[in-house]
Amino acid sequence: MSWRERPETRDRMFSAFRIVRQLHEMTWYLLEAQERTYDPATAREARDLADSIASVTHADVDELLSIDAEGMHASVRELLMDVSAEVRGSYFADAGRPDPRLHPGADLAGTDLRARRLCGADLRGALLIGADLRGCDLAGTDLLGADLRGARLEDADLSYALYLTQPQIGSARGNSRTRVPAVVSAPAGWRGA
């Protein structure tokens, strides 16, 4: 029975749906963290946390509404940031630090980033709307929550970017030479460009 047949359940069902969506997103990121970390103990921790979260997604509505989603999110966030720092740190052994303007939450909307060193940059939550990243190497760049709407990704290499999702790729502009991680697909419109 759906909320359409029982309208009084609508708010609870929608709240449960929002929680399940967040749990699935956390699991997605944890699976990537498990693959990307260099530390076997961290990989086990990511796997165990992902398994724990995945088991909660099968709970009934009452159980879902009573879980500590914020506590889970805090644990996931900490692990993702640790893995990000570990992976990004491997890009600075002999090349120095990236441009200080490249930081979490940076407003880089419309910015031409083609001449900047982006490997290993932390661009979590950055506004990259319409940014020019053509031909850029984004290996080890943390893009968790970055807004890539209309970003120019033609000929860019995102194959080793961290925490890149299908919706992010789908909102950007690319071409057949744009490289993306194996877990996401280049939009069909990129193939002919």
Give the per-residue pLDDT at 193.
Answer: 62
Nearest Cα residue to 156 out of 106, 118, 107, 105? 118
Domain ranges of the chain: 7-89, 97-193
Is-contact 174 190, C-beta < 8 A? yes
CATH assignment of 97-193? Answer: 2.160.20.80
Rounded distance, CA 136 to CA 178, Å?
10
Give the mean pLDDT per block of 10 residues along the chain (193 residues): 73 85 93 96 97 89 86 95 93 65 95 90 96 96 97 97 96 96 92 73
- Whole-model pTM: value is 0.87
Interhelix angle 40-56/69-89, rounded to 10 degrees, is 150
Which class for 184: exposed (0-12), middle (13-18), buried (19 or more C-beta within 10 A)? Answer: middle
Q: What is the pLDDT of residue 96?
A: 60
Question: What pLDDT was estimated at residue 86?
Answer: 95
At residue 114, the pLDDT reads: 93
Give the contacts of 184 (CB within 8 A, at least 6 positions apart). 164, 165, 166, 169
